[in-house]
Amino acid sequence: MSSNAPGRSDKHTAPPLPEPLRVPVADSHTHLDMQSGTVEEALAKAASVGVTTLVQVGCDLAGSRWAAETAAAHDAVHATVALHPNEAPRIVHGDPDGWSRQGARQPGGDAALDDALAEIDRLAALPQVRGVGETGLDHFRTGPEGKEAQERSFRAHIEIAKRHGKTLVIHDRDAHADVLRVLKEEGAPERTVFHCYSGDAEMAEVCARAGYYMSFAGNVTFKNAQNLRDALAVAPPELVLVETDAPFLTPAPYRGRPNAPYLVPVTVRAMADVRGVDEDTLATALAANTARAFGY
Ligand SMILES: [Zn+2]
Ligand SMILES: [Zn+2]
């Protein structure tokens, strides 16, 4: 393969392998089913730079079943299962711009959401499924007409996580106050992770008091994300995780190119800078925290 001229970034070219971490860590949130290449290739590439464990996150029924199957087949992979906050309203109302690659969907009403939740419940009982998520609230992509279905789905996922003793994985986009409110009303599970943490330092204090894990993604490296770095700086060391959310949120300087678990070291190094610790110290904490957060 030919390399690009310096300074030129090809949107479809995978960023180069970073220098390996000396202390292995986990990617606490990834979507292998939305990335190119095989699972085996992704795991080998990640392991070659010290990313030895992955949490594969389901967003719809097909993706959740796939996550459970993939985790059953690979020791390095743990699964979480859920209907994404933008998926739940689509099941109820239908939506031509569906999350799922299945595309346009017929509205199924409340009964269809109940059926889908029953399947998530069944999958959540499996031993290789360590968490329920990503669930939560997304006021960015879901408009007012979908709010009710989204919140009903979120509450149901919290109940499922608690009943099975699994970790709750939260997706919170432009919905901080409502997510915290629902968690308080329902009672959060023992282990709750804010994936792609997007709050400020003040919210990090709230999460810290509640014992919620905060998982930082590649956007913590973005120039305009000082609020995330401020939050990371005050988060208790035992509650911090790292993730890719790949194929999304590729860290700088590769922003806009395809993301994958092997790029975790780039984000870990940026996070170590923010916290003023060396990379091995941070990696040791991240590895222990992820194992504790997902109970593996
Ligand atoms: Zn998300
Ligand atoms: Zn995600």
CA of 6 to the centre of ligand 2 (A): 31
CA distance 55 to 76: 9
pLDDT at 5: 47
Q: How confident is the model at residue 219 (pLDDT cuts 50, 70, 90)?
A: very high
- Mean pLDDT across the stretch 111-119? 96
- Mean pLDDT across the stretch 84-110? 76
**Domain at 25-294, CATH class:** alpha beta
Q: How confident is the model at residue 107 (pLDDT cuts 50, 70, 90)?
A: confident
Q: What is the mean pLDDT of the chain?
A: 94
Share of the chain above pLDDT 90, in %: 89
pLDDT tens for each residue of 234-262 = 999 999 999 999 999 999 999 999 999 99
Q: How confident is the model at residue 9 (pLDDT cuts 50, 70, 90)?
A: low
The candidate with the shortest Cα–Cα distance to 133, out of 143, 145, 146, 123, is 123
CA distance 29 to 80: 9
Please determine, for residue 103, whether its predicted confidence score (pLDDT) is greater than 60.
no
Q: How confident is the model at residue 283 (pLDDT cuts 50, 70, 90)?
A: very high
pLDDT at 99: 52
CA of 86 to the centre of ligand 1 (A): 10
CA of 185 to the centre of ligand 1 (A): 22
CA 268 from chain centre, in angstroms, equals 16
pLDDT at 198: 98
pTM of the model: 0.94
CA distance 277 to 290: 18
Please determine, for residue 95, whether its predicted confidence score (pLDDT) is greater than 80.
no
122: which 2 tokens? 């069944």
Please determine, for residue 295, whether its predicted confidence score (pLDDT) is greater than 70.
yes
pLDDT at 244: 98
CA of 98 to the centre of ligand 1 (A): 15
Angle, alpha carbons 57-218-176 (nearest 5°): 70
Q: How confident is the model at residue 227 (pLDDT cuts 50, 70, 90)?
A: very high
pLDDT tens for each residue of 18-73 = 999 999 999 999 999 999 999 999 999 999 999 999 999 999 999 999 999 999 99
pLDDT at 6: 46
pLDDT at 165: 98
pLDDT at 94: 82
More confident residue, 7 or 30: 30
CA of 1 to the centre of ligand 2 (A): 30
The closest ligand to the CA of 56 turns out to be 2
CA of 174 to the centre of ligand 1 (A): 12
CA distance 195 to 203: 14
Please determine, for residue 10, whether its predicted confidence score (pLDDT) is greater than 80.
no
Please determine, for residue 82, whether its predicted confidence score (pLDDT) is greater than 90.
yes
Cα-based torsion angle of the residue sequence 105, 183, 169, 282 in order, rounded to the nearest 10 degrees: 150
pLDDT at 42: 98
More confident residue, 169 or 145: 169
CA of 6 to the centre of ligand 1 (A): 32
pLDDT at 97: 57
